[in-house]
């Protein structure tokens, strides 16, 4: 029932979304396209969706230990950006609440050389970390397209990266979001950012991500949703991307399950 209410709310917001944004949505199973809409080949900064990569990096490097360890505190004089990121956070709440400062502590502890090594091993987008060890993925140098997001996610669920098996298992746990209809489970991450103009200056327009996969028994379907606002909006583009994806995933599951 809760899932159905959420889907209905998402559908209402979808009406306004399509009028003021450009949308890409792509789903794949075993690298085969199931559904694809919009331009999914243009790269954008990954924003907080990069936390998926950071989590496997963190667990593999040993900086992150478990869902609840380490617990770090918001550094003094640091803007949390959103109120829920005040106080202490651990890997689970870092992903859940999307706390940028936690990511920055992680990458700073890792160091730029190891950071670059992981990003290169993953072939993550353009692999460009010139924006800095603490900022490259936030409206900066590192960019990835929705298509490339699905390639990364497919390798993640197929466990194709040269990292420890425990890193995959722990990352999967903190990526879990909710149960979907038909016994499917949803894993993923949102990401929100400000679009830059040709000179690299911030505009008043947002772009937003929701990427991840759904899983049931031995079936796993990856997806990537990306929104580019063409008008100024008062809501986060990432929330609208998530809502858009939930609608489309519900219909996809409905077709597969014949609910």
pLDDT for res 133:
98
Cβ contact 195:206 at 8 Å: yes
Cα separation, 219 vs 200, whole angstroms: 41
Long-range contacts of 36-40 (CB under 8 A, 24+ apart): 40/145, 40/146, 40/147, 40/224, 40/226
Domains of the chain: 2-257 (3.40.710.10)
- Please confirm, yes or no, whether 48 is among the known catalytic residues: yes
Mean pLDDT for each consecutive 10-residue tract of the chain (259 residues)? 52 52 96 97 98 99 99 95 96 98 99 99 99 97 98 99 98 98 98 93 96 98 98 96 98 87
Cα separation, 58 vs 90, whole angstroms: 12
Beta bridge partners of 178: 186
pLDDT for res 18:
52
In terms of pTM, does the model score above 0.85?
yes
Question: 21, 48, 55, 140: which is the annotated catalytic residue?
Answer: 48
pLDDT for res 258:
77
pLDDT for res 3:
53
């Amino acid at each position: 029932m809760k899932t159905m209410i959420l889907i209905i709310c998402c559908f209402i917001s979808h009406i306004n979304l399509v009028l003021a944004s450009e949308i890409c949505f792509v789903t794949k199973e075993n690298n085969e396209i199931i559904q694809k809409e919009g331009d999914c080949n243009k790269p954008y900064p990954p924003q907080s969706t990069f936390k998926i990569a950071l989590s496997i990096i963190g667990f593999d490097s040993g900086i992150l230990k478990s869902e609840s360890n380490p617990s770090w505190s918001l550094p003094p004089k640091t803007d949390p950006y959103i109120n829920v990121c005040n106080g202490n956070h651990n890997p689970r709440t870092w992903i859940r609440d999307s706390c940028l400062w936690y990511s920055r502590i992680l990458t700073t502890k890792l160091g730029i050389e190891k950071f670059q090594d992981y990003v290169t091993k993953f072939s993550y987008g353009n692999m460009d970390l010139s924006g800095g060890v603490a900022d490259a993925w936030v409206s900066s140098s590192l960019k990835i397209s929705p298509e490339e997001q699905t390639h990364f996610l497919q390798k993640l669920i197929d466990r194709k990266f040269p990292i420890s098996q425990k890193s995959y298992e722990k990352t999967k746990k903190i990526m879990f979001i909710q149960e979907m209809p038909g016994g499917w489970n949803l894993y993923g991450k949102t990401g929100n950012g400000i679009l830059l103009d040709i000179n690299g200056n911030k505009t008043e327009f947002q772009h937003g991500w929701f990427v991840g996969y759904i899983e049931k028994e031995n079936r796993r379907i990856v997806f990537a949703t990306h929104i580019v606002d063409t008008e100024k909006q008062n809501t986060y583009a990432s929330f609208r991307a998530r809502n858009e994806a939930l609608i489309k995933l519900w219909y996809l599951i409905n077709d597969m399950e014949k609910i």
